[in-house]
Amino acid sequence: MKSPLRVGLWLLASLSVSILFAQPASDSTDLLAEVLRMQAEMPTPGTDFRAGHATLRRGDSLTHTTAQGYRVHLPHQGLVPTPTVAGELLYVSGGFGSKQFFALDAYDGQLRWAVDLDDDGPSTAVVADGMVVFNTESCTIFALDAQTGEQKWAWWLGDPLMSTPTIANGLVVTAYPAGGRGGGFFPQQNGLDYPNQIQQQLPANIAPASAPEGGYDGPLRPTHILIALDLQTGAVRWQRWIDGDVMSAPIAADQELHVSTFAGTYYKIDQQSGEILAARAQRATSAPVVVGDEVYMSQRADLDGEVREAVAVVHRANLAMKGRGHTRQAAYLDYE
């Protein structure tokens, strides 16, 4: 039997959550018809990707034992994305600017295998079904045998690849810039066009990206392509145009993919067929988190001319807004 104190705490927590999302839901616009029009009018993405190459290399120990465990010194002194632990192995990029990728024993840090890549900047890796998959910033997706490091397949997709791939139900899903030019995240820093900012209200001096040549002339800017590849062979299963790069990574939930783009658009897609089930201008500022019948994400929520952000919750079935938490200042959303 639950104690009155535990019941009281549970009711208080439930009430707090209800209050948090009791604020009026912000505006969001159904974009499904426009997104489907974009798919129909844009040219079919090509599939003639250039092969990438990963070569097994001999390497000295990178590990120093400490009183608490071990410390790893990577050869390239660059920024390193989050490592991945799967089973008994720890997978880690050589860092931004590096052309190396490593698999270490997760328990003692000893090197199991390492590869030299023909592209630099490996991302965080994803591991499933005996395969380890990662993108490189410039500009290739690699799929290796998770135990040996042997290359299974690799494709040069486009420059740059800024997100992490996702593995789900025998597929690898990632995004790449159409035409190899990309949308870019910091336009004034790297000179690239900014992806479409529908509903984001960025400063007027940041222009929306120019879409690749095609028949579509609507309000969206199809700068990137979401691609699904066979995990074991790398064969292209489907491709869909999207209006900006993917935030963080595509999110797999059951048989669905949930994707936020830097344009603030939120997509729900069938994993196996690539059918776009729903799309909304959601002003999203993070990747979605799927919990049961609800989806949570951070959302731009400007108020009285001030840049603000809040956590929003939407219905998983139709992406309709369910509620939004209290807003907070978020000047970082407008990079200048």
Helices (H), the chain: 4-20, 32-41, 187-190
- Cα–Cα distance, 208 to 204 (Å, whole number): 10
Place 17 in a pLDDT band, splitting at 50, 70 and 90.
very low
Q: Which of 249-258, 261-270, 324-333 has the lowest mean pLDDT?
A: 324-333
**Average predicted confidence (pLDDT) for the chain:** 86
pLDDT at residue 92, rounded to an integer: 98
Angstrom distance (rounded) from CA 21 to CA 2: 27
User: Who contacts 240 (Cβ-Cβ below 8 Å, separation ≥6)?
Assistant: 39, 225, 226, 269, 274, 276
How confident is the model over 79-97, as a mean pLDDT?
97
Q: Determine the average pLDDT of the residues in 147-161.
A: 97
Question: What is the percentage of the chain residues whose pLDDT exceeds 90?
Answer: 74
Distances (CA, A) of 203 to 79, 179, 194, 329: 30, 26, 12, 17
- What does the pLDDT look like over 99-121, one tens digit per residue? 999 999 999 999 999 999 999 99
By C-alpha distance, which of 222, 226, 158 is closest to 196? 222
Q: Which residue has the higher pLDDT, 28 or 5?
A: 28
Helices and strands in the chain, H and E counts: 3, 27
Distance of alpha carbon 105 from the chain centroid? 27
Q: Which of 333, 202, 225 is nearest to 276 (CA)?
A: 225
pLDDT at 194: 36
Task: Indicate the residue type of 82.
Answer: T
Q: Phi and psi (nearest 5°) for 301?
A: -145, 65
How much is the average pLDDT of 35-41? 97
Taken in order of first residue, the domains within the chain and their CATH numbers are: 50-156 (2.40.10.480)
Comparing CA positions, the residue from 179, 172, 178 lying closest to residue 135 is 172
Radius of gyration of the chain (CA): 22
Q: What does the pLDDT read at residue 214?
A: 59
Q: Give the pLDDT score at 336.
A: 59
Are 130 and 148 contacting, i.e. CB atoms less than 8 angstroms apart?
Answer: no
